[in-house]
Structure 1
Amino acid sequence: MRVYIDQDLCTGCGACVDLCPEVFDWDDEGLSRVTVDEVPEDLEDCVREAVDSCSGGAIREI
């Protein structure tokens, strides 16, 4: 599983960082970023919850 954050849609709410800090972190502009190339299998449920919780709809599975 791979995920992408559309920086134009990210609101910086931090839900993804709170839900799955092993995959998401803050960038220098205060927006979220993905920190892994491939999401480890044991974190896929956590990432799907972050996708569903993203208020801006910025996180997409690719």
Structure 2
Amino acid sequence: MPTYTIVDKDTCIACGACGAAAPAIFDYDDEGLAYVHLDNNTGTAKIPKELADDFADAIENCPTESIKKLDKPAR
């Protein structure tokens, strides 16, 4: 089953944990807030299977639970 993700920028505290765990998935905007660079944080790009472990680590390490795991595209 494909997995999608989005970062809730309203709760992100710019700690850098997600980018450290999964740099191929997450990046930071000019304010330091995380976003999914695979799809510009729209929740429409599938997380590649080879990045599944990194993605799981990012979710686990996010102190504010801002990373949302989705079973279908957000749009």
Give the structure-2-normalised TM-score.
0.78
Listed as ranges, the gaps of 5+ residues in structure 1 are none
SS at match of 1:4: strand
Pick the structure with more helix per residue. Answer: 1
Instruction: Select 1:51's aligned residue among 44, 56, 59.
Output: 59
SS at match of 1:48: helix
Q: CA RMSD in A?
A: 0.8
* Shift >4 Å, 4+ stretches: none
Deviation at 1:29, TM superposition (A): 1.4
Residue 17 of structure 2 is matched in structure 1 by 15
TM-score, with normalisation over the residues of structure 1?
Answer: 0.93
Tell me the matched-pair count. Answer: 62
Larger radius of gyration: 2
Q: Secondary structure at the match of 1:51?
A: helix
